[in-house]
């Protein structure tokens, strides 16, 4: 017998959707800065990219404050229990129509693979992207102070990390279709409620 429970809290949903909007704007303006197309014009694309980047940095500070003060950091602890069954499900079970071996609860939202993935993304890739973006933005001041003489490695790292995050986004969009119904996970991220 299934039940509907609140899995994603209000701030969590705000963080998710605000971050999605900012990341989408950063992707579009980032591609324009690299010359893939012309939409806003180079100068406006730079301004929008900077604005979205600093807004994302503020949002991440709020998110980390929430994660560590609400106890949500426990969601990101790596665990081996259920890892084999989860890997098997994604390799075989999903193609046979089997049920997902992980049953979401408010205390354990992520399956073991999600937990490991989000650990690396939330505590690794996201801060790295913001940090390299700040180094990029403040490069003239940092160079004048003698703290940073070359921007090349920062640009390479920022761009490589951006493509890593974009790859995650594609996988993330695919994985949201793995709920009980194709729209279940998307609806849960809007309402906070998931059928378990």
Residue range 43-53, pLDDT digits in tens: 999 999 999 99
Q: Residue 22 pLDDT > 90, yes or no?
A: yes
What domains, with CATH codes, occur in the chain? 4-195 (1.20.950.20)
pTM: 0.89
Q: Which residues contact 85 (CB under 8 A, 6 or more apart)?
A: 101, 102
Query: What digits encode the pLDDT tens for the residues 27-74?
Result: 999 999 999 999 999 999 999 999 999 999 999 999 999 999 999 999
d(CA 7, CA 79): 20
Using CA atoms, how far apart are residues 155 and 8, in angstroms rounded to an integer? 35
User: Strand, helix or coil at 98?
Assistant: coil
pLDDT, tens digit, for every residue of 79-90?
999 999 999 999
* Chain Cα centroid distance, residue 86: 21
For the stretch 7-20, pLDDT in tens is: 999 999 999 999 99
pLDDT at 166 over 90: yes
Confidence of residue 1 (pLDDT cuts 50, 70, 90): low
């Amino acid at each position: 017998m299934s039940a509907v429970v609140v899995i994603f809290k209000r701030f969590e949903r705000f963080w998710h959707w605000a971050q999605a909007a900012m990341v989408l704007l950063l992707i579009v303006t980032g591609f324009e800065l690299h010359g893939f197309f012309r939409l806003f014009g180079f100068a406006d694309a730079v301004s929008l990219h900077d604005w979205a980047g600093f807004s994302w940095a503020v949002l991440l500070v709020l998110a980390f404050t929430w994660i560590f003060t609400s106890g949500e950091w426990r969601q990101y602890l790596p665990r081996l229990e259920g890892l084999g069954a989860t890997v098997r499900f994604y390799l075989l079970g999903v193609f046979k129509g089997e049920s997902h071996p992980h049953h979401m609860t408010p205390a354990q939202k992520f399956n073991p693979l999600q937990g490991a993935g989000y650990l690396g993304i939330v505590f690794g890739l996201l801060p790295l992207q913001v940090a390299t973006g700040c180094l990029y933005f403040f490069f003239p001041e940092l160079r004048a102070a003698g703290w940073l003489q070359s921007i090349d490695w920062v640009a390479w790292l920022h761009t490589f990390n951006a493509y890593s995050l974009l790859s995650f986004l594609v996988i993330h969009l695919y994985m949201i279709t793995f709920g009980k119904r194709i729209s279940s996970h998307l609806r849960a991220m809007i309402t906070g409620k998931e059928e378990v």
